[in-house]
Amino acid sequence: MQVSIRKAIDKDIADIFNLVKELARYERSEDQVIATLDDYVNAFSNGTFDALVAHAGDQVIGCALYYLTWSTWRGKMYYLEDFIVAESFRGKGIGGQLFKAFLEEAKAQECRIVKWQVLDWNEPALRFYEKHKAIIEKEWWNGKILFDQD
């Protein structure tokens, strides 16, 4: 199977949205996805986020969704919001290709750091990141405030 990695374009957004919903099911949190496809289309078109996609033929089989932010200690930073390979394509090295492309993009944009989150129970993801020599911080706690969308 020939897999290619490229920057996402407008026509990829529906596939990215479907991958996000697949990930939410995997993480047992599908009911928490309140963003709509229109939200994704609008956010992508106005530059709120960018993405890389892995595709085999015309089928998008993975994505890395990220955005530019700032580290007060390090400077320019990419935050990897979601990194997904479709379940039926996992274990074939596609995640490694996609992650490497994301890191190359961050370096090309002169980022000094990349960050992301990983669930503490997601052993396959933890092993993947450790294999890539990632630092998995365990001393920082996440904080958040959710705004109702009435």
Q: What is the pLDDT of residues 86-112, one digit of tens each?
A: 999 999 999 999 999 999 999 999 999
pLDDT confidence of residue 150: 58
**The pLDDT of residue 10:** 97
Whether residue 149 is predicted with pLDDT greater than 70 in this model: the reply is no
| Catalytic residue, candidates 66, 78, 79, 129 | 129
Maximum average pLDDT range among 22-26, 46-50, 135-139: 46-50
Other beta carbons within 10 angstroms of residue 120's beta carbon come to 10
Is the pLDDT score of 122 beyond 90? no
The topology under which CATH files domain 4-131 is: Aminopeptidase (3.40.630)
pLDDT, tens digit (0-9, with 9 covering 90-100), for 28-77: 899 999 999 999 999 999 999 999 999 999 899 999 999 999 999 999 99
CB 18 within 8 Å of CB 30: no
Do the Cβ atoms of 116 and 77 come closer than 8 Å?
no
Task: Kindly list the domain boundaries of the chain, sorted by start residue.
Answer: 4-131
Confidence of residue 145 (pLDDT cuts 50, 70, 90): confident
The rounded Cα 85 to chain-centroid distance in angstroms is: 10
Q: Cα(51)–Cα(81) distance, rounded to whole angstroms?
A: 10
Q: What is the pTM of this model?
A: 0.91
Task: Check if 66 is active-site.
Answer: no
Range list of H helices, the chain: 13-26, 37-45, 94-108, 123-131
